[in-house]
Amino acid sequence: MEKPLTKDFRPDGRALTLKEYRAVGGYEALAKTLKFMSPDDTLGAVQKANLKGRGGAGFPAGRKWDGVPDKDFLKSPRYVVIDADEMEPGTFKDRFLMENNPHQLIEGIILAAFAVQADFAIIFIRWEYREAQKRLRWAIGEAYGNDLLGPDILKSGFQLDLHVHVSAGRYICGESSALLESLEGKRAIPRSKTPRAVEAGLWGRPTVVNNVETMCNVPHIIKNGADWYLGLSVSDEPGTKIYGVSGKVKRPGAWELPLGITARELIEEHAGGMWDGHRLVAWQPGGASTDFLTPDLLDVKMDFGSMQTAGSRLGTGTVVVLDDKTCPVGVAHNLESFFARESCGWCTPCREGLPWTEKLLYALEHGQGKVGDIERLELHTHLLGPGKTYCALAPGAMEPLQSLLKLFRKDFEKHITEKGCPWR
Amino acid sequence: MAVIYVDNKSYEVETGNSLLTTCLSLGLNVPYFCWHPAMQSVGACRQCAVKHFHDEHDTRGRIVMACMSDTKDGMRISIDDPEVKQFRASVIEFLMANHPHDCPVCDEGGECHLQDMTVLTGHVRRTYRFPKRTYQNQNMGPFVNHELNRCIQCYRCVRFYREYAGGHDLDVFGIHDRIYFGRFTDGTLENEFSGNLVEICPTGVFTDKTARSHFTRKWDLQTAPSVCVHCSVGCNTIPGERYGTLRRIRNRFNYEVNGYFLCDRGRYGYEFVNRDSRLRYPLLKNVAGGYAGASLEKATHRLRDMLGMGAGVIGIGSPRASLETNYVLQRFVGPENFYDGHSIEDYRTTKLILDIVRAAEPPVATLHEVARCDAVFILGEDVANTAPIMALALRQSVRQKQYAFTDKLDVPRWNDGGVRQAGAFDTGPFHIATYNKTRLDDIATSVFRAAPADLARFGAAVADAIQKGAEEDQPSENDIDIRAAQVARDLMEAERPLIVFGSGSGEVSIIHSALAVTRNLMAMGKKPQIAPVPPHCNSLGLLSLTGQSIEQALERLYADEVKSLLIVENDLYRVLTVEEAECALDKAAGVVAFDHTSTKTSGAADVTLPVGSFAEASGTYINYEGRCQRFFRVMSPLPENTDPWRRLLDIAKIIIAEAEPASLDLSAKSRWTKLAELNTLDDIVDALVADYPELQAVKDCAPSAAFRIDGMQVARQPQRYSGRTSMLADQTVHEPKPPIDVDSPLNFSMEGYHGEPPAEIIPRFWAPHWNSVQSLNKFQAEVGGPIKNQTPGKRIIAPRRSVGIPEAPPLPEAFTSRTGEWLVVPLYEIFGSEELSVLSPPVRERSPKPYIAISPSDAKKLRLLQGAAVTVSLGDIAVSVEVRLSPDLADGLLGLPLGLPRIPFVHLPAWGTIATGPSPQEAS
């Protein structure tokens, strides 16, 4: 089982230095690309590898890059922006990658920038990721000092500047257009769907926004070829994935595994199974904003397509398990209070609907629930659903709620009839 | 043309609009909040949801936001679909969850878009049971009241204030359901278009603070179509009256002029009408030099005695009086005795502007066209202070380049969020050449600052560069040539270049240079337009009637030829220096002032007769483009506030009726006899058009008094006007008969026509379901477009090509600064420089203290600090002012804000000196 993204991590948790990274073959892909490949070749390799974006939506990275228009159609500069504002509850995979091997990310960024002929790249990183920031800055310094960044990269004539921007921190910055607004110094509010960022993104110029994990895959694809990459997974979607598990399991953590393993394997083998005396009653495949699934779906492949079919989303691939000793209404309240707090306040259903949802769940948890509250919550899952709000935040917030309402309807009702939480 | 199906009914529609615009244009009631016809779509409120069906077999459909959907041929949508109806009601419920139920004490109540939309969606019962969110309000200065608890977060206010109007001090703060729209801290809203928030806000967050002090519901206001008197643009307005008090001014949409917006001077300057300084009865000077109030009859007889046989009478007109008033005065004294009421500097510049407007080569741009021109060159005029709403239109023009960019990306123009995000850095070109900073500098591609003479020279350099443009670019070392070449290049590359200039600098040479630029552009096959800025609301109207300047009037007065001097709606102290004005008033044996407000001139007159202000009179103004615009009396007529022209007619009537025929001068007798035959506004207009056939538009610009719809006049009072029978209960138990209006097709009653009259006589916007200003949608054929029933054809002074424009004088010498002397140039303040609006207390509050602008390096030489008290002397006139450092002002110049209270009139530009300390007069 190959683990290209994590195999070189040092066991002591220190970041690989440039020297160490080079010793394990780092920047070979870059040297090869700048010497022998054209931007189109690079793009072609990524397209052929069918690399799906690891930010949560699974949009093919190659197809995104291909949308960047020709230079004679749109003016320079053009940008590559890396979303390192990892704020999905339960998700910490990008931190894992940045802290342990920052050069791997930097190499991926340079390759992506070369493919789309970008002039400037920015890592938009979460404020709390102090260690990752420090390590990235150190690595970027090393890269500049060794002609891996700057005006003439590896004497190829290709130039790129890379900058770390520390985010002021909002969940909505995970929405790539809100991220761009924030980068421009504005309020982090999602942008209109047209024009696309690849045509007019940051400061109105062509911009590619990708997740950290996506970028980390690029050097390996270039170095080893698309065919190798297609063979890594155990699914028809290629590559490996950083999966994670949190909740009442024995060994919560994150592991690089072939894309398409099952949640059962993940939870039972890698996370060591449930705490003793705890039974898994539901699980989220990819972070807080994904639908809860029942235990009978633990054997479905965890890839983008299969999770969709199962009625949820792969999202970030970090599983959250819900056990029988935890109140599902409390879980819902916990999640919704997060989403209500993180709403950007732009569109009505999200801004007004999420706090209302949160208040209803709080009332249920604290014995103030009333008949009709569950129906109201159900109504909200429709009113805040896809297409009705400006971006995907509120629909994402409704996914866990609607599934919990469906799976644990009786428990919700008990909160009203018993005037309080039976788990307390 | 395309066909769309709405609830299975087919409609022929235009493409290129958002689905919301399309539906509203079809008259369909789709509720909305964040969308605004002038600001288009951002998709925030989610209120305009409709159901979109893939094709005729699709039964499930998908909810989409109409404002964020393109109108496509063959598309099928439903507004009445139960699911989408419920969704819209739920959006209202979300918005109402935190909205206070304070409609009865809310100033917006009764004309609230949120009320209208709530009723429209059918949401009636709130299920939200948790505490409502509350906010701290801010004191935002004298114009706008802030009550944020009512906010529904539609984001229109910040979009208008920041993106549309270029303001900086209003923003949105906070996140999730604690969004705050306000300033960083309490304080006056600085942007001069802040008053539009009152109409932009769909509910009662931003309300009119001036109206609040004498509040009246919309349904209790008597309104009539009017025209703003505070600058030369002539924005269309709807003033509202009750109990003899002018309560407020609202915007009256005019597609070609002001569109949806007004400036704060226009919106809040009206309070002068309600002031104690109004003249309410005639005043007579007695032998001792004091004044006594008198009856109209007595005053008229005194006036008759003064006029004697009618010889030796001269009249001075006014650029703030209507065309009709000036015309009647001219007929009253005889054309050879009628003089212009501008200062001599304004006369010279404005006369030239009128010639240019009449020649119509190049044509004058409407404000609608100004906002759509794709390159701008402003030469010498501080538009933001002299014609503020034009500055707002100019501010939109830089978006043409933005649209060109986003068109390429297939971003629909109605997608305002998308266009602004993508094209934020693709704006312009916009070039400004003025002698001081302007509030348009922030959008300028280039800014050139120089003394007036150098501005004229710069304009000439641009004109030269355009001519040379065809040849190879001569690389020049000279900074001015490089700058001029850039301006020339941008103008040449544009499809609709616009040159803006005006009378503000007092320099005729600048106007000639601007004209040279346009002529050279035309010679190169371009189609430029111009936007000239005359000084006052009826400057072009007054000058259309007269050829004689006030200087010539002075000469006659000095020659002791004048027995009596008639001054109508003019304060000579604002157009002549104190010395000149006093001399003129002393020389005339008798001085008669007609005005609505007491002025220094009326204070010196032997007879002062009160007349109606714009709100108590009807007439016509001619704006900067030569557009004749009729305004109608808003307040019910009273003897003391009769139309100024009617006052003059009445006097003529009394003289003719009472005087011994033999005692009158022959020509005076014939003039007065003719005037005595005129009774109504239409009579005057007919006479005027007969004398000035080129002003035919004055007659065509509005329906005559005989106009009726279904046999009815248009009602000035709305159908829901309350208290009609009890309003005067303290004075009479009878309900008095409404006054008759012989001058217009409007009446002073709630009985009359209430539908959609011709655009020129719409007294208010109101429609079933739509009580707020948004009801305007219902009056437009296409939402955002012109009003239905607009009189076809242009209402412009007919171009008289035979009128030659005077030859340009030789270019002035380049400016050289002098030692010990400074060239004092006029500055203007939106709040303060205009005569009438500054009498309005809220506007006065915003006007600056008298100051002199000086460059920091000159100030350093003189060891002057910001705020220091200094005296500026121009000849005999000494002005005490504070120093204001102005880094944009060229060395060697001083900027004096003309028209500010406590700054006497001086002829500018002129050389003067500056000394520390207050003036000798003031010190003594």
Determine which of B18, B33, B46 to mutate to test the interface with A (most A C-beta atoms within 10 Å). Answer: B46
Asked whether the bond before B901 is cis by omega within 30 degrees of 0, the reply is: no
Distance between CA atoms of residues B836 and B502, nearest Å: 21
Partner-chain contact B91 A343, CB within 8 Å: no
Report chain A residues whose CB lies below 8 A from the CB of B408.
Answer: 73
Cα–Cα distance between B69 and B375 in angstroms, integer?
Answer: 31
Mean pLDDT of chain A: 95
Q: Which position has the higher pLDDT, B922 or B145?
A: B145
Across chain B, mean pLDDT equals: 93
Cβ <8 Å between A348 and B98:
no
- Name chain B contacts of A348, Cβ cutoff 8 Å: 44-47, 91, 94-95, 152-153
- CA B559 – CA B554 distance, rounded (Å): 8
Q: Is residue B126 pLDDT above 70, yes or no?
A: yes
List Cα–Cα distances, B718 to B66, B249, B724, B766, B848, in angstroms: 32, 16, 11, 9, 39
Say if residue B660's pLDDT is above 90: no
Q: Are A311 and A291 in contact (CB under 8 A)?
A: yes
Beta strands across the sheet bearing B62-65: B9-13, B2-6, B76-78, B49-53, B62-65
Has residue B661 got a pLDDT over 50? yes
Question: Minimal Cα distance from B43: which residue of A?
Answer: A390
Query: How far is B596 from B281, CA to CA, in rounded Å?
Result: 10
pLDDT in tens, B165-192: 999 999 999 999 999 999 999 999 999 9
In this prediction, residues A229-255 reach a mean pLDDT of 95
User: CB of B341 within 8 A of CB of B323?
Assistant: no
Structural tokens at position B424: 């934020």
pLDDT band for position B470 (cuts 50, 70, 90): low
Q: What are phi and psi of A377, to 5 degrees?
A: -60, -40
pLDDT of residue B924 exceeding 50, the answer is no
Q: With a cut of 60, say whether residue B798 has pLDDT above it.
A: no
Q: Which residue of A has its CA nearest to B419?
A: A195
* DSSP secondary structure, A283-348, as one string: EESSSTTS--B-GGGTTSB-SHHHHHHHTS--TTSEEEEEETTS-HHHHHHHHHHHHHHH--S-SH
Task: Tell me what the mean pLDDT of segment B583-597 comes to.
Answer: 93
Stated as kind and residue range, the H or E segment containing A131 is helix A130-145
Nearest to A348 among B46, B127, B409 (CB): B46
pLDDT at B71: 96
Q: Dump pLDDT digits (tens) for B276-335.
A: 889 999 999 987 878 888 998 899 888 888 887 778 899 999 999 999 999 999 999 999
The model's pLDDT over B72-87, given as tens digits with 9 standing for 90+, comes to: 999 999 999 999 999 9
Span A358-412, pLDDT tens digits = 999 999 999 999 999 999 999 999 999 999 999 999 999 999 999 999 999 999 9
Terminal-residue alpha carbon distance, chain B: 77
Condensed to tens digits (0 to 9), the pLDDT of residues A340-360 reads 999 999 999 999 999 999 999
Is the separation of the CB atoms in B347 and B355 below 8 Å?
no
Q: Is the pLDDT of residue B193 over 80?
A: yes
Ranking B2-16, B472-486, B835-849 by mean pLDDT, the lowest is B472-486
* Distance separating alpha carbons of residues B21 and B28, to the nearest angstrom: 10
The pLDDT of residue B797: 61
| Cβ-nearest to A340 among B49, B176, B418 | B176
Which chain B residue lies closest to A73 (C-alpha atoms)? B408
Report, in angstroms and rounded to the nearest whole number, the Rg of chain B calculated over CA atoms.
29
pLDDT given for residue B243 in this prediction:
93
Confidence of residue A128 (pLDDT cuts 50, 70, 90): very high
Structure confidence at residue B793 as a pLDDT band (50, 70, 90): very low
Give the mean model confidence (pLDDT) for residues B236-249: 96
Pairing of strands B313-316, B564-568: parallel
Short-list B785, B760, B740, B617, CA closest to B698: B760
Residue reference for tokens 């803006």? B500
Q: Under a CB-based contact definition with an 8 Å cutoff, are residues B748 and B739 in contact?
A: yes
Section B368-394 average pLDDT? 97
Task: Find the range with the poorest average confidence among A124-128, B474-478, B889-893.
Answer: B474-478
Tell me the C-alpha to C-alpha distance, in Å, between residue A400 and each of A192, A328, A332, A339, A356.
Answer: 26, 10, 7, 11, 16
- At residue B546, the pLDDT reads 80
- Region B533-562 average pLDDT: 93
Residue B423, min C-alpha distance to chain A (Å): 6
Question: What percent of chain B has a predicted confidence (pLDDT) above 90?
Answer: 84
Report helix, strand or coil for B595: strand
What is the bridge-based pairing of β-strands B590-595 and B430-434?
unpaired
Distance (Å, whole) CA B239 – CA B228: 9
Q: Tokens 């001569």 — which residue?
A: B474
B409 to A170: CB separation less than 8 angstroms, yes or no:
no
Whether the per-residue pLDDT at B723 is higher than 70: the answer is yes
CA distances to A216, B454, B758, B869 from B755, in Å: 68, 55, 10, 59
C-alpha distance from B486 to closest chain A C-alpha (Å)? 21
- Closest chain A CA to residue B406: A195
Residue partners of B165: CB distance under 8 A and separation at least 6 = B191, B193, B196, B392, B395
Using an 8 Å CB-CB cutoff, list residues of chain A that contact chain B.
73, 170, 181, 187, 191-195, 199-200, 203-204, 340-349, 351-356, 359, 370, 372, 376, 379, 383, 387-390
pLDDT in the model for residue B678: 97
- A167-181, B682-696, B790-804: segment of lowest average pLDDT: B790-804
Whether B361 shows a pLDDT value over 90: the answer reads no
